[in-house]
Amino acid sequence: MAATFVRTYPPAQPNPGPAFWFAFRKDELLVRQQGQDIALAYDDAGGMAALNPHAILYVGTLDDIACMACEVSAEQEVPEGWQAMNLRTFFGHVDEIVYGVAIYAFQLLHWQRHHRYCPNCGHQSIALPGGWGHQCPHCDHVAYPPVVPAILVLVHRGEEVLLVHKPGWGKRYSIIAGFVEPGESLEGCVQREVREEVNLEIDEIKYVGSQPWPFPHQLMVGFIARYVSGEAQPDQQELDDVAWFQRDALPQLPPSLSLARQIITTWAASQH
């Protein structure tokens, strides 16, 4: 049975006793080693003392066990029996719910670290009860953890899929991506990005799924669309190649944790 995560918000406090700890050293999550496997840190506050945790947040419960997020010093050595993993590497070692908690913890810590002061007047902000928002006591400006929407779109033409390549990607190709601009719908962003990046017209835009992408705070929203017209040409400012590929002759693709990879593999399987 999959784990159940329930979010909590300040000023909620965890029950006494051991908790799951999501301890980050910069962008790395510290986890326990269990032979060839890994596990979340499960300790009480005293057991975590060796890591000198700070910026501690109570973020929710996982199967009724408290989940604590914290940071440790960049100079903190990894204790024996522990391992430091970035979130991309952590994917696949735990189920989707636990991975989602790690993403949530990472983004909240990033928010707390970078938004201590009011962006409007520079005064130190204070936490708002009942959520993760901050309010400035000087000018009353209110801010919440940002979520920046970005689209992914797979463009298909029969059994062919359009994939793009950016400098620095090596042999890897992916689908078109771009950030949503002010005053723009998700579907409008899909059409604009396809037109700007590869000079094509599309239709039959269909939503297929979404994924939080904590690098640092995107929400990826995935679509598929049907090719209508145009000759594929890469936008030289962002891309260095664009090509059509048969579903059974795909190039190197993004890692399995990414929504882009999931959209491509799902589409390819649907063509059989």
Shared domain check, 28 and 106: yes
**Domain limits at 233?**
148-270
- Residue-level length of the chain: 272
Domain assignment present for residue 251? The answer is yes
Shared domain check, 154 and 61: no
| CA atoms within 13 Å, Cβ hemisphere of 72 | 22
Closest CA to 61 of 5, 9, 15: 5
Average pLDDT across the chain, whole number: 93
Domain with residue 159: its CATH number is 3.90.79.10
Closest CA to 31 of 108, 94, 95, 103: 94
Domain assignment present for residue 107? The answer is yes
Shared domain check, 154 and 92: no
Shared domain check, 155 and 72: no
Amino acid, single-letter form, for residue 27: D
Specify the pLDDT at position 100: 93
88: confidence class by pLDDT, cuts 50, 70, 90? confident
pLDDT at 188 over 90: yes
Domain with residue 38: its CATH number is 3.90.79.20
Specify the pLDDT at position 1: 56
pLDDT at 272 over 90: no
Residue 206: strand, helix, or coil: strand
Number of domains, the chain:
2
Q: Structure pTM?
A: 0.88
The Cα 34–Cα 5 span in angstroms is 23
Q: pLDDT for 200-214, tens place per residue?
A: 999 999 999 999 988
Average pLDDT over residues 232-252: 95
Shared domain check, 265 and 160: yes
Share of the chain above pLDDT 90, in %: 80
Average pLDDT over residues 168-184: 96
The values of phi and psi at residue 119, to 5°, are: -75, -10
Average pLDDT over residues 204-225: 94
